Structure 1
Amino acid sequence: MERREFLKYMGASSVVLGLTSNLWAGGSKRCKEEVCREAWTKLCDYRIKEAAYAYVHPQKRLPNVFLYGDSISIGYTLKVREQLQGKANVFRTYRNGGATQNFIPGMEKMKKAMFQPYLKNGWDFKWDVIHFNVGLHDLKYMSKGKLDKENGKQVSSIEGYKEKLDEICTYLMKEFPTATLIFATTTPVPQGAAGRLAGDSVKYNKAALDVLAKYPSIMINDLYAFTKPNFNEWCIEPGNVHYNETGKKAQGKEVARIIAENLYN
């Protein structure tokens, strides 16, 4: 083969190899997203139908934010995502976070379901901000699997709550040493709430602050103080601990504001 023909051949081969390489890289990227999406769908189970649990695939150029909480956090998740669009990848835990006893097992289950090396080709990033809350499910009274403040037993005593929250803080600081941690206080419990006593949020928030005093690097988002003056306007109905669209959006904006201030700390 003459030199000119050889060079022409090599040039064509390089183009083909380049195209093949690009296609392979693209295919690999799609494969990773597909693997993670399938794993997330399986992890969420029936909850995947709810918008708050929609799969989020991380954009590498953006910081990664994790929301952990109960149904109150489920309510404001979408607004937080909307507010931080283009500024951060906003994820949430795969279910209702529940009481303090569920926190560490839930975090470990999510890690093993979604992250490398447990999930081949899974997530391989680190959390930049973790915004978390536990409390509303600790202070409730249960009997035979139902809310019952007359005959039920409280899920966590004040001392039990403090002990578990201390374990959570230790766990977070050990597992995610570079993440900014933000604890949100528990929102109000009104008069007439099913399975809960009015005023217990105040008691459990005080207990939480006693624990967090040992961890000065953990920031406080006083969502209780933010919500309390507007509770009657924002609640779904009298005696309900949950919020209407106005309340969810307002809480979401506040959570997003505080997170945005700490994205690059």
Structure 2
Amino acid sequence: MKLKKLSVILTVLLLFAAAMPLMAQDKIIREDIEWVDVYMPNTNNGALPRILLIGNSITRGYYPEVVKLMDGKAYVARLSTSKSLCDPALAKEIALIMSYYKFDIVHFNNGLHGWGYTEDEYKKAFPAFVKAIRKGAPKARLMWASSTPIRTYADAKILDPRTDRIRERNKIALDYVTTQKDIKVDDLFATVIDHPEYYRGGDGTHPLQNGFSALAQKVAAELSALLESK
């Protein structure tokens, strides 16, 4: 009888242990408003390399100028989304978009959403984020872009406290991508951190047009160099 009870207890414990990873994955923290914005130009033309920019509203902001700067060099598409890389829905969005076209370069960024997740959770999720990109575009060359800082609404010279978390997330991502010998780095954080004038009068998160222009020029320069290195 005792052996039977012990067997039941062990069975319950094993089932609970097996369910723990699933329970951890069930922690999905989303914002009150979630969105995804995809733009795919020149879908019926294959004369030039095709580039996908994965990011958020910052990516969406510098995207139009990147397209102009890359004119004649590549077709540039974008997947802008509010999904954090800790959210399994992001991998589904990436898989869906990448199922439509072959991309030669993927420029990716994710760090300004998912504040409900800790940096430890961000670190654990980052490899899966890269894996999802590799799975969707196995032959594409990859470039990771650091996330940009956030400034206070009242004074652009003062950094929002979340910028400390952005620095940590950038370090987590950089530490990982540097172990992947084939991933290039585009440091967008460094491009704007010393330029509060890019944000003065704005909302603190999104730069003004001069800031978006600086980011676009940096992205286009890095992409052009990568194309020329082939």
Query: Once the two structures are aligned, what percentage of the paired residues are identical?
Result: 26
Q: For the Cα contact (< 8 Å) 1:189–1:199, is it kept in 2?
A: no
Aligned position for 1:167 = 128
Q: CA deviation at 1:179?
A: 0.8
**Amino acid of the structure 1 residue aligned with 2:164:** G
Question: In the alignment, is the contact (CA less than 8 A) between 1:69 and 1:98 conserved in 2?
Answer: no
**CA offset at residue 57 of structure 1?**
1.9
Query: Tell me, which stretches of 5 or more residues in structure 1 are unaligned?
Result: 1-45, 116-124, 141-153
Displacement after TM superposition at 1:211 (Å): 1.9
What is the TM-score normalised by the length of structure 2? 0.73
8 Å CA contact retained: 1:79, 1:252:
yes
Deviation per CA, 1:42-74: give whole Å up to 9, x if none. xxxx988xxxx5551232110000001001000
Contact 1:128 1:178 in 2 (8 A): yes
d(CA) in 1 for partners of 2:63, 2:49: 17
Does the alignment pair 1:130 with 2:116? no
CA contact (8 A) 1:66 1:90 kept: yes
Q: Distance in 2 between matches of 1:210 and 1:54?
A: 30
**Partner of 1:205 in structure 2?**
170
Is the 2:39–2:77 Cα contact (8 Å) retained in structure 1? no
Aligned: 1:215 with 2:186: no
Deviations along 1:123-144, one digit per CA (max 9) or x if unpaired, are xx42111001000113x3xxxx
Q: How far 1:201 sits from its partner (Å)?
A: 1.3
Deviation at 1:236, TM superposition (A): 5.1
* Structure 2 counterpart of 1:61: 47
The one-character-per-residue Cα deviations of 1:99-156 (angstroms, maximum 9, x if unpaired) are: 11243121123245xx2xxxxxxxxx42111001000113x3xxxxxxxxxxxxx2x2
The number of residue pairs the alignment matches comes to: 188
- Structure-2 separation of matches of 1:55 and 1:127: 11
TM-score by length of 1: 0.64
Question: Which of 204, 207, 211 does residue 240 from structure 1 map onto?
Answer: 204
Q: Give the match's secondary structure for 2:107.
A: strand
2:148 match: secondary structure: coil
Output the CA distance in 2 between the equivalents of 1:247 and 1:109. 31
- How has the CA–CA distance of structure 1 residues 134 and 110 changed in structure 2, closer, same or farther, with 3 Å as cutoff? same
* Aligned residue number for residue 26 of structure 2: none
Give the structure with the higher percent helix: 1
Does the aligned pair in 2 maintain the 1:129–1:180 contact within 8 Å? yes
1:88 to 1:160, Cα distance in 2 relative to 1, 3 A? same
The match for 1:260 is 224
In the alignment, is the contact (CA less than 8 A) between 1:234 and 1:244 conserved in 2? yes
Matched, 1:105 2:97: no
242 and 187 in structure 1: CA distance in 2 versus 1, 3 angstrom threshold: same
Q: Give the whole-Å Cα distance in 1 for the aligned partners of 2:207 and 2:165.
A: 18
CA separation of 1:64/1:162 partners in 2, compared to 1, >3 Å: closer, same or farther? Answer: same
Asked whether the equivalents of residues 190 and 199 of structure 1 are also in contact (C-alpha less than 8 Å), the reply is no
| Contact 2:41-2:77 within 8 A present in 1 as well | yes
CA distance in 1: counterparts of 2:201 and 2:137, whole angstroms:
39
